[in-house]
Structure 1
Amino acid sequence: MLADKGYDSDAIRSDLAHRQIAAVIPGRSNRRVKIEHDRALYKQRNRIERMFGHLKVNRAIATRYDQLAVSFMSMVHIATARYWLKFVHAA
């Protein structure tokens, strides 16, 4: 990733702008010049990242033991259903 190579966030954002990609993540709270971002799109992105985090708790998904795509997707479906059941049961 660009940040690993010593780039700062402005360089990453300018590279994204050059490739016509809208940056979704807001700047840090202590940044002097605030960066405009789409709050609704950032909220959706955050929810998706959290969902992948919950799915990766399953070791079979995180390490991708299954060699066939069908087997892997079935494991993703099972993990998603288990997570959904926890969510429904808590509500």
Structure 2
Amino acid sequence: MPISTPWRKKGRADHAIGRSRGGLSTKINAPIDQDGLPLRIVLSPGQASDKAAVSVLLEGLPAAQALIADRGSDAQAIVDLVRRRRGEAHIPTQSDRKIQRTVDRELYRKRNLIERYFCKLKHFRRVATRFDKLARNSLAAVLAGGSA
């Protein structure tokens, strides 16, 4: 066989499968608009941090007035990225931080839109159990499930 065969070995980047505490898993990252619809969807390995996906998710999107995220995205780099895009980050700080940021409670409550989107997505068995081996096939299932 020639060296440039299309066959890939297990665990390559085209699978987006990674090891986490629960075993093999994949993370689905998505920014949601004010209507609860996804603007972009990115798959990443299960052990990858949510913070690493933020710059990829926001790249090329129009600047938003506010970015609302959970404590998992608490990083000064993300807050600075949103400020450079002329927006405001509403991300609660983790409890071990010396300087605590305040978050508008009414605005932060709108985070339920993304929770509802992912809850709806998990009703699709193919997405919830990740039957597909390749990331592109899994992403296609997520896109088909999220639009239904």
TM bucket (normalised to shorter chain) is 0.5 to 0.7
Q: Could you tell which deviates more after superposition, 29-38 or 52-61? A: 52-61
Q: Deviations over 1:34-60 (max 9, x none)?
A: 112211111111x11221121112328
Give the corresponding residue for 1:88: none
Identity of aligned residues (%): 21
Specify whether residues 65 and 49 from structure 1 end up closer, same or farther in structure 2 by C-alpha distance, changes over 3 A only: closer
In 1, the alpha carbon distance for the partners of 2:117 and 2:92 equals 21
In structure 1, the gaps of 5 or more residues are 67-71, 76-91
In structure 2, the gaps of 5 or more residues are 1-28, 30-49, 54-73, 128-140
The alignment's TM-score, normalised by the length of structure 1, stands at 0.55
Greater helix share, structure number: 1
Task: Note the aligned Cα RMSD (angstroms).
Answer: 3.3
Alignment of 1:40-55 (within 5 A): 40-45=106-111, 47-55=112-120
Higher RCO (Cα < 8 Å, 6 or more apart): 2
Runs of 4+ in 1 over 6 A off after TM superposition: none
In 2, the alpha carbon distance for the partners of 1:24 and 1:34 equals 12
Larger Rg computed on CA atoms: 1
Q: How many residues align?
A: 67
Greater strand share, structure number: 2
